[in-house]
Structure 1
Amino acid sequence: MGTGEPLDNPCPMTTHPPRALALTLSAAAVAATLAALAPAARAQTSGTAVPALTWGPCAPPALPGQECAKLPVPVDYRDPRGPRLTLAVSRVRSDRPAARRGTLLMIPGGPGGAGVPRLTAKRAALGRELAGAYDLVTFDPRGTGGSSTAGCGLDAADRHLVALRSWPAPDGGITENAARARRIADACARQGGAVLRGMSSANEARDIDRLRRALGEEKLSAWATSYGAYVGAVYAQKYPRHTDRWVLDSSGDPDPSRVERGWLANLAVGADDRFPDFAAWAADPARKDEGLRLAERPGDVRPLVLALAAELDRAPKRSTTQGVPLTGNLLRQALQDTLQSDASFPGFARLVRQARDPHATPVLPAALAGPLPDESAAAVLLPLCNDVRWPASVPAHRRAVAADRARHPLTAGMPANITPCSFWKEAPAERPTRITDRGPSNILMLQNRRDPNTPYAGALKMRRALGGRARLVTLEHGGHGAYLANGTACGDRAVTAFLTTGHRPGRDVRCAG
């Protein structure tokens, strides 16, 4: 619990000891930053007119007052007058014009996440918190939702999430993973074309700036979540003078030599950090009346889940979804999804109980019961593979998987395994952006300490990279995507205060509750 908090703090926080956060850019780092901006960034459309947005009604299930439009963007920013694709854009105008101070852009997570449905879902909560201070705007990134999409023509068997995530075989072998990865990479090379090659974090940042101009805004404020937090950091690096109040919610390690490779590897640590929350919940006597208690002690839940996964490796159990049995890897993937939110705990506990009951037939989570649409599978994969090079050695991956399985049994080697990116046919069009401390000090980071997808250790690396530009609010909580979702009331108050009043802690702080 926090102690000794100043009375004017927006929530009960404990300040961290002062740390030296200023970073010194070496000549090499400066050179790397400039290289990251060329050649594509120099081909920005600053001299090219951006068409005005034509707003109209949104398709259901949009809410009253929610408007939608289409924004044309270049397929390739190195050819700004070349072929176009369109982005789906949505907004809800401030209902208090006198209180309006600008536009808040919601940058969705993913890769593969669409923003327009998120605005629909979060509008009411944001309306209560922000009291008309902003027009709320979002977009579906290229390849997602109502924006232009493209697919790789993948077979249905290769589009299941449990296949796209490269879970090793029950014995730890990766031969099948490597074959699938080659097959997917070959299909994307044949079918993808320029639209798929243009799905990258750098292009999403450029799309955001084109949207800013189309909105007629000199500056944007933002609430960027998960993968969107990385995109938001890239935007703040490339276009610092166009940022106002900038919130990065649930950040990953921005290391430009790894980017998504590092995020995947970090899932093993994230699961270990977060699982004790589920174990405590599943052993709570309150679960008994709900029929969901898995063990009498929290320490017994982990071995129970691991033993069940191993049993399902040996003998998958028929589920209610024809042709899709409950396997050990499907159970592990269900656990990964579950750890994002406490609200998902009952569903996973129910699945475990069904799997252990010889008379029950497990009901699979909807997200795992069938293949993703081809376009959705591509949107999940492409930014990962287009942003950075991935190592291709199968023997090296085999060794890495064996070591990772031993250290992190909950994820069974998946985070270290080979992916289609290892066999990508085209090198990334440019180097990943190096996030630095150069720019205005207008960033607030919000981070759960036990985040399964973007672990705290990775977020600290983003914090160090940003230096004096940012402040970090650490929540003593578990889950992914903190603001108005899986965080705490204290964290919500800190973000709301920053967006509405500009108040930001003078140093990094800890939210106790």
Structure 2
Amino acid sequence: MKQITKPATLIAAAGVVLGLAGTGSGASAADAESITWTKCEGTGLDPRQQCAAVDVPMDYSDPDGRKIQIAVSRLPSEKPSARRGALLLIPGGPGGVSLEDPSGKGQKLPQEVRDAYDLIGFAPRGMAPSSTAACGLESKDLALAKLPWPAPDGSVAETMTTARRIAGACARNGGELIRHISSANEARDLDRVRAALGESRISAWGDSYGSYVGSLYSQLFPHRTDRIVLDSNDNPDPTRVGRAWLAAFEVGVEDNFPEFAKWASRPGNPYRVARKAADVRPLFLRLAERLDREPLPWPGANPAELDGNVLRQTMLNSLYDPDDYPTLAQMILATRKGTVPPVPDAPSESMMQNAAAVGVGTLCNDVAWPRSVAHYQKGTDESRAEFPLTAGMPRGAMPCAAWPFTPKEPPVRITDDGPSNILLVQNVRDVATPLSGARELRRAFGDRAVMVTVNSTGHGAYLANGNACGDRTVSRFLATGERPDRDTYCA
């Protein structure tokens, strides 16, 4: 099953506490609990994969208070004599789950890595089947291309109204749990999982938003880390956090659209939309503007019309993976003729409600967002002028602009304090986590990290949209601990 992507979850979507940010509230050997492993539910899983639940504090400033459960999966090392430890598979999101990944993308790992580690998946706090959060959002607020896309004229007034409605629903319906969903708490939960597994140190492969969680784990629990791979990396700016990730799309689209344009103008391509690559961008902009003025009815879709923002959101989703280029091309070809493509498959409403709640809780609890309409209008206007493909969306308002709660702790600042055991891998052209943001994370880690920059296109570098050189470098590090002496470029 394809993992929930960042657009779906971003757009769907005191003294004690200060002490937590510094110490991580780690789990000692005395905190370890015995795990009861059972057969996992679901289809298509490796029959050896096992599942369990780990109890963790809902509120780490009250560690003896109410507990919640984190669902965990494990695929044991395929060669016990070569086993080194456990490898956490940290999912993207916020709102992603990696419970199936030991049987899924974990099987793409080379044999020597699967021999060296138990592969560990999990559902982050709030995500089913862990203790689950939901906001009870109206169906229209789960629609494709809703928040934070502005109106066709660039106004953010309706966006702010939607943000207030979603924030209010989450505050009313999310219960106490939604107040404690955050990236730092996900990292703390992972240390409780490590302790429950009986591991003194743990390795990790964090992908996309998982790269940020992996970074926080490495900052909060440096003495608990073994070999850490951070793939497709988020900007760790502690003053902005999720706002920086959203803003990155305007750069990421500009980095990637030319690759789509070359593909979409190639002779012999059955989805060819223009004769020259230079013609694809103006064609897209004309179609988006026309659909802003004259949306097309789209029965069965949510919303039930195909407007300019639906086209733009489809572009955003399609640029994640060159294999998805045909989806955007088919929409361009259809709308140019005044027709619509088939309605795409969508996750169940319960899954979307769950992912939206965790996405909202994470983004809004990680850091306080500006609350002024004027702030978002100014940013949207500037973005529309400089980056017309994304029409101002990356600087728009999220529910966090109306979040009624204050973050319980300041964001964690990534520093160079800790062991040098981190390998970053990053594609040059990545729509969601562009190279510019990855370089900020690399600078923050200093000598703790080395970065492998891969001359490739798409989101997800290692064993996905990268190249053989990057894959070999990461696999060698996980299997043997051998890491390049300095930052490396994989042409």
| TM category, shorter | over 0.9
Residues 307-332 of structure 1, C-alpha deviations (whole Å, 9 max, x = no match) = 11111111111235256221110111
SS in 2 for 1:183: helix
Instruction: Find the counterpart in structure 1 of residue 325 from structure 2.
Output: 345
Partners of 1:215 and 1:275 lie apart in 2 by: 44
Partners of 2:179 and 2:23 lie apart in 1 by: 16
Instruction: Find the counterpart in structure 2 of residue 99 from structure 1.
Output: 82
Instruction: Find the counterpart in structure 2 of residue 49 from structure 1.
Output: 31
SS in 2 for 1:373: helix
Q: Which of 184, 187, 200 is 2:169 aligned to?
A: 187
Conserved 8 A contact 1:161-1:372: no
Q: How many residues align?
A: 475
| In the alignment, structure 1 residue 325 sits paired with structure 2 residue 308 | no
Q: Structure 1 regions of 5+ residues with no counterpart? A: 1-33
Moved more, 349-358 or 454-463: 349-358
Partners of 2:91 and 2:130 lie apart in 1 by: 14
Q: Which of 409, 428, 431 is 1:430 aligned to?
A: 409
- State how 1:17-28 maps to structure 2 within 5 Å: none
Instruction: Find the counterpart in structure 1 of residue 199 from structure 2.
Output: 217
| In the alignment, structure 1 residue 459 sits paired with structure 2 residue 438 | yes
Q: CA deviation at 1:410?
A: 1.0
Aligned letter for 1:462?
A: L
Q: CA deviation at 1:370?
A: 7.4
Conserved 8 A contact 1:293-1:349: yes
Q: CA deviation at 1:171?
A: 0.8
Aligned letter for 1:273?
A: D
Partners of 1:129 and 1:311 lie apart in 2 by: 54
Q: 1:208 to 1:282 in 2, by over 3 A?
A: same
Q: CA deviation at 1:249?
A: 0.4
Q: 1:129 to 1:488 in 2, by over 3 A?
A: farther
SS in 1 for 2:297: coil
Partners of 1:294 and 1:455 lie apart in 2 by: 26
Residues 418-459 of structure 1, C-alpha deviations (whole Å, 9 max, x = no match) = 111011111111011110011100100000111111111111
| In the alignment, structure 1 residue 501 sits paired with structure 2 residue 483 | no
Instruction: Find the counterpart in structure 2 of residue 266 from structure 1.
Output: 248
Aligned letter for 1:248?
A: L
Q: Structure 2 regions of 5+ residues with no counterpart? A: 1-15
TM-score (norm 1): 0.89
Instruction: Find the counterpart in structure 2 of residue 247 from structure 1.
Output: 229
Q: CA deviation at 1:145?
A: 3.3
Instruction: Find the counterpart in structure 2 of residue 13 from structure 1.
Output: none
Q: CA deviation at 1:178?
A: 0.7
Partners of 1:369 and 1:206 lie apart in 2 by: 29
Instruction: Find the counterpart in structure 1 of residue 3 from structure 2.
Output: none
Partners of 1:506 and 1:312 lie apart in 2 by: 51
Partners of 1:347 and 1:42 lie apart in 2 by: 43
- State how 1:62-141 maps to structure 2 within 5 Å: 62-126=45-109, 128=111, 130-141=113-124
Moved more, 444-453 or 344-353: 344-353
Conserved 8 A contact 2:110-2:475: no
Partners of 1:470 and 1:40 lie apart in 2 by: 20
RMSD: 2.0
Aligned letter for 1:302?
A: R
Instruction: Find the counterpart in structure 2 of residue 28 from structure 1.
Output: none
Q: CA deviation at 1:302?
A: 0.9
Conserved 8 A contact 2:94-2:355: no
Conserved 8 A contact 1:441-1:468: yes
Aligned letter for 1:83?
A: R
Q: 1:119 to 1:83 in 2, by over 3 A?
A: same
Partners of 2:346 and 2:233 lie apart in 1 by: 24
Instruction: Find the counterpart in structure 2 of residue 158 from structure 1.
Output: 141
Instruction: Find the counterpart in structure 2 of residue 483 from structure 1.
Output: 462
Q: 1:442 to 1:242 in 2, by over 3 A?
A: same
Percent of residue pairs identical = 49
SS in 1 for 2:217: helix
Conserved 8 A contact 1:54-1:69: yes
Conserved 8 A contact 1:332-1:410: yes
Partners of 1:418 and 1:156 lie apart in 2 by: 19
Partners of 1:63 and 1:276 lie apart in 2 by: 40
| In the alignment, structure 1 residue 420 sits paired with structure 2 residue 399 | yes
Q: Which of 439, 450, 468 is 2:429 aligned to?
A: 450
Partners of 1:63 and 1:147 lie apart in 2 by: 21
Partners of 1:355 and 1:273 lie apart in 2 by: 25
Residues 77-112 of structure 1, C-alpha deviations (whole Å, 9 max, x = no match) = 111121111111001001111121111111111000
TM-score (norm 2): 0.93
Q: CA deviation at 1:74?
A: 1.1
Conserved 8 A contact 1:334-1:368: no
SS in 2 for 1:452: coil
SS in 2 for 1:65: coil
Moved more, 104-113 or 34-43: 34-43
Partners of 1:329 and 1:68 lie apart in 2 by: 40
Conserved 8 A contact 2:24-2:188: no
Instruction: Find the counterpart in structure 2 of residue 234 from structure 1.
Output: 216
Conserved 8 A contact 2:97-2:124: yes
Q: Which of 334, 337, 340 is 1:357 aligned to?
A: 337
Residues 148-173 of structure 1, C-alpha deviations (whole Å, 9 max, x = no match) = 1111121111122422x310001111
Q: 1:368 to 1:334 in 2, by over 3 A?
A: farther
Instruction: Find the counterpart in structure 2 of residue 18 from structure 1.
Output: none
Residues 239-288 of structure 1, C-alpha deviations (whole Å, 9 max, x = no match) = 1111111101011111111111111111111111111111111111131x
Q: CA deviation at 1:184?
A: 1.1
Instruction: Find the counterpart in structure 2 of residue 147 from structure 1.
Output: 130
Aligned letter for 1:311?
A: R
- State how 1:304-323 maps to structure 2 within 5 Å: 304-321=283-300
Moved more, 43-52 or 427-436: 43-52
| In the alignment, structure 1 residue 376 sits paired with structure 2 residue 355 | yes
Instruction: Find the counterpart in structure 1 of residue 267 from structure 2.
Output: 285
Conserved 8 A contact 2:20-2:61: no
Conserved 8 A contact 2:32-2:197: no
SS in 2 for 1:437: coil
Q: CA deviation at 1:197?
A: 0.9
Aligned letter for 1:57?
A: K
Partners of 2:250 and 2:485 lie apart in 1 by: 33
Q: CA deviation at 1:43?
A: 5.0
Q: CA deviation at 1:129?
A: 6.0
Conserved 8 A contact 1:159-1:371: no
